[in-house]
Chains A and B, each alone.
Chain A
Amino acid sequence: MNLALVLDSLPQLLSGLLVTLEITAWALALGLAASIPLALMRVSTNPVLRLPVFGFIFYFRGTPLLVQLFLIYYGSGQFRPELEALGLWVYFREPYFCAVLTLTLNTAAYTAEILRGSIQAVPFGEIEAARACGMSRGLLYRRIILPKAFRLALPAYSNEVVFLFQATSLVSIITLLDLTGVARVMVARTFAVYELYIAAGLLYLACTYLILWVLRKVEYRLSGHLRPREAEPARPDLSPAGLP
């Protein structure tokens, strides 16, 4: 083990980690924003809305992320004249843009599927009660269904966040210098193969469990009304003797 070398390369690894976190944050924010309308379309009874979204989710969940990444980054080159005419080529030739776009579409598909499940898991009694109160469809979704669905989706969404965070390592294959990318470049330069990969792995490990810890805190906060009350002062027993 060459520990001094690992310590020397720590600043570069940390800057790579920053890129990883940046890409994760972009993809998460954009993917979550896209997944809400997608999930609503997915549960719609109108096939014109439902079927295209079903196809999108099916495709992005059924194919490897690496293929999706190559399809967008290298595949866009096949349509270069058309993209240039539209003025979009400046974006598609940037690996950063393609990476964020692919990860966004990927996580949007997975998140929409999670949300679909939790929207359909909202108890029908609550929807019925809201309708009986005279809520319109929009208000029903905004006040009852979506808040409940978000809370139900949180455990599965935590997993998705961790998967996305780890999936960003693939962007190193299209030349971006994220944590994995930096490690690969430094390995090629120093030949300290296992030291650097293990150091990068430990950084991923620490971040993964930090993310999980934070999300568990959020989950705990959001489920306060569902927990049994703790340490309630015992009431004096007023029941007549002999009765349970």
Chain B
Amino acid sequence: MLPDLRGYGWMLWEGLQLTLLVGLASLLLAILLGLLGAWAKLGASRIARGIAGTYTTVVRGVPELLLILLVFYGTPTLIQNTAARWGTPVYINLDPFVSGVLTLGFIYGAFATEVFRGAFLAVPPGQIEAARACGMSRHLTFRRIVLPQVWRFALPGLGNVWMVLIKATALISVIQLDELMRKTQIAVGATKLPFTFYFVASLMYLGITVASMLLQQRFEAMANRGVRRA
């Protein structure tokens, strides 16, 4: 049943590992940006709210592929042009891994912002009032009451973000990062078996999706272990 991969199986396996690495690093960045964005959106500062609002609006309105191209090809040129105008020529070559993680993290940070914003708002205000009435400082309230519950409310949304993000890593292949998609292209070029290899690659992505779904269930069960259910 297993198709003949002509010895290129190990290459796909390597690509899969890099895909997971890019995905996890981007998710981490997205979570950090999301927390920061939610904090800005819910905060009192009008400037911070404006920046965070623009960020989520723009990122969600432009295709990922275009943003990847813009960051990978546009940023070095922009910096070089600016530097040249100041009279100091600089040459920048962005590493595809770094720029891939930066771009994906930046894009999905906008989605994570909305997830965390919803999660912060889902914490019942009565609990915060109660904590303040017990004499907890704002910091302690945040650390002991709000944050542990935000984690619980944000998990389903973060799971969705992760599923979309890991599929979007395939786009990083356009900037020549050797992740699963790019490795598959190389294997196809050598073997002339496009259907076989792209199908196997798609099954690998499907495997990641299934594993992520199972993990998400475990995490949610863990986060909700203190919640009474009808």
Q: Which residues of A contact B (CB under 8 A)?
A: 58-59, 62-68, 70-71, 74-79, 166-170, 172-173, 180, 183-184, 187, 191, 193-194, 197-198, 200-201, 204-205, 208-209
Contacts and interface: CB of A to CB of B under 8 A. Distances in A.
25 contacts: A59-B202, A63-B202, A63-B206, A63-B209, A64-B168, A64-B171, A64-B202, A64-B205, A66-B171, A67-B202, A74-B194, A77-B195, A78-B193, A167-B63, A169-B63, A169-B65, A172-B65, A193-B74, A194-B70, A197-B73, A198-B70, A198-B74, A204-B62, A204-B66, A205-B58
A75 B202 CA distance: 12
A107 B196 CA distance: 24
B195 to A, nearest CB: 4
B78 interface: yes
Contacts of A200: 66
B145 to A, nearest CB: 32
Contacts of B123: none
Of the listed residues A77, A79, A194, the one surrounded by the most CB atoms of chain B closer than 10 A to its CB is A194
Contact of B210 (A62, A170, A193): A62
Interface in B39-93: 58, 60-67, 69-70, 73-75, 77-78
B181 interface: yes
B194 A180 contact: no
B5 interface: no
A173 B66 contact: no
B67 to A, nearest CB: 7
Nearest to A171: B65
B66 A169 contact: yes
A68 B209 CA distance: 15
Contact of B199 (A58, A71, A187): A71
B11 interface: no
Given A66-B171, A193-B74, A205 B62 contact: yes
Given A71-B199, A193-B73, A64 B66 contact: no
* Interface of A (DSSP majority class): helix
The prevalent SS among residues of B at the interface is helix
Contacts, number: 115
A64 B170 CA distance: 7
B199 A194 contact: no
Contacts of B62: 166, 201, 204-205, 208
Give the interface centre of B192, B194, B209 by most chain A CB atoms within 10 Å.
Answer: B194
A71 B194 CA distance: 7
Given A71-B195, A78-B193, A205-B58, A194 B78 contact: yes
B174 A173 contact: yes
A67 to B, nearest CB: 5
Given A63-B202, A66-B181, A205-B58, A78 B63 contact: no
A74 B196 CA distance: 11
B198 A67 contact: yes
B181 A64 contact: yes
Nearest to B174: A173
